[in-house]
Amino acid sequence: MAVRVTKQVETRDKVLELIERLTIGQAIPSERQLSVDFGVSRLTVRAALDELVREGHLIRRRGSGTFVSEPKIAQELTMTSFTEDMRRRGMRPTSRTVDLRIVPAGARLGRFLNVSPSEPTLVAKRLRLADGETMAIETLHVPSALVPGLTGKDLESQSFYELLRDRYAITIAGGVQQIEPTVTNEEESEALGVPLHSPAFLFERTSRASDGKTVEFVRSIYRGDRYVLVSELTPQTPRTGIPVLTVRDDGRVH
Ligand code: GLP
């Protein structure tokens, strides 16, 4: 077993090197060819390729072969909007509003948004696309009083953060974001165009305006095969260091 695992790791590394020399969309050699080239069994090649497909480096097309995927999007952990993130990478951001309704916040959401449970709250579900490909599903929750007249169409044609700034004179000043690994459910898989139970990131962001008011609580599902999270690391000094993640005895993050 140990020998096979090592061989699989080595094979995976070799295929990764091969991928680096190929271009996006190009086919990799067949499993049979790779097993001859690398001197390992087809079973080992298959297992290594399965891993690379799961991680989003390769894509399998039934009947035609295995191809090099697009590189993942390196998502930095900053306060930026989806629109800004995509533009900065030279990609074209678009959105599709699949649902928008106004509901009472309820107890849980009310706590997140710092409003009473009866406070009317706008809930908008959007698909977020980059260069026409669906990357994420986001459910935005915002107290209606902060964004009178905001429509689903507005959220398709403009960035929410830009609308906040330009139409409602609200500037996002900070927030808290929690990230958890997850897998896609049926609805998410269909919307994102990925197989059921694909790996994904669940982001939950609560943002506040410069006057301290909570502006949004957003739950986003980002495709695990298209994103990698990147953060700059700096040494933490006792005075300025803020713990970003702590796990309590009951396993909950706070
Ligand atoms: C990111 C954040 C969301 C935020 C959104 C705004 O995706 N995770 O919390 O609401 O950006 O994006 P945009 O301004 O492009 O609508």
Per-residue pLDDT of the chain (254 residues; tens, 9 = 90+): 456 568 899 999 999 999 999 999 999 999 999 999 999 999 999 999 999 998 889 999 888 899 998 888 888 888 889 999 999 889 999 999 999 999 999 999 999 999 999 999 999 999 999 999 999 999 999 999 999 999 999 999 999 999 999 999 999 999 999 999 999 999 999 999 999 999 999 999 999 999 999 999 999 999 998 888 888 888 876 655 555 555 555 555 55
How many Cα neighbours within 13 Å face the side chain of 41?
A: 9
CATH of 73-230, one of 3.30.70.141, 3.30.43.10, 3.40.1410.10, 3.40.140.10: 3.40.1410.10
Ligand 1 neighbourhood includes 85 CB (under 6 angstroms) = no
Domain ranges of the chain: 7-68, 73-230
Q: How far is the CA of 140 from the centre of ligand 1 (A)?
A: 8
* pLDDT of amino acid 142: 98
219, 202 Cβ separation under 8 angstroms: yes
Q: What is the 3-state secondary structure (H, E, C) of the chain?
A: CHHHHHHHHHHHHHHHHHHHHCCCCCECCCHHHHHHHHCCCHHHHHHHHHHHHHCCCEEEECCCEEEECCCCEEEECCCCCHHHHHHHCCCCEEEEEEEEEEEECHHHHHHHHCCCCCCEEEEEEEEEEECCEEEEEEEEEEEHHHCCCCCHHHHHHCCHHHHHHHHHCCCEEEEEEEEEEEECCHHHHHHHCCCCCCEEEEEEEEEEECCCCEEEEEEEEEECCCEEEECCCCCCCCCCCCCCCCECCCCCEC
Ligand 1 neighbourhood includes 203 CB (under 6 angstroms) = yes
Looking at the CA of residue 84, tell me the nearest atom of ligand 1.
15
Q: How far is the CA of 82 from the centre of ligand 1 (A)?
A: 5
Ligand 1 neighbourhood includes 220 CB (under 6 angstroms) = yes
* pLDDT of amino acid 241: 52
CATH number corresponding to 7-68: 1.10.10.10
100, 122 Cβ separation under 8 angstroms: yes
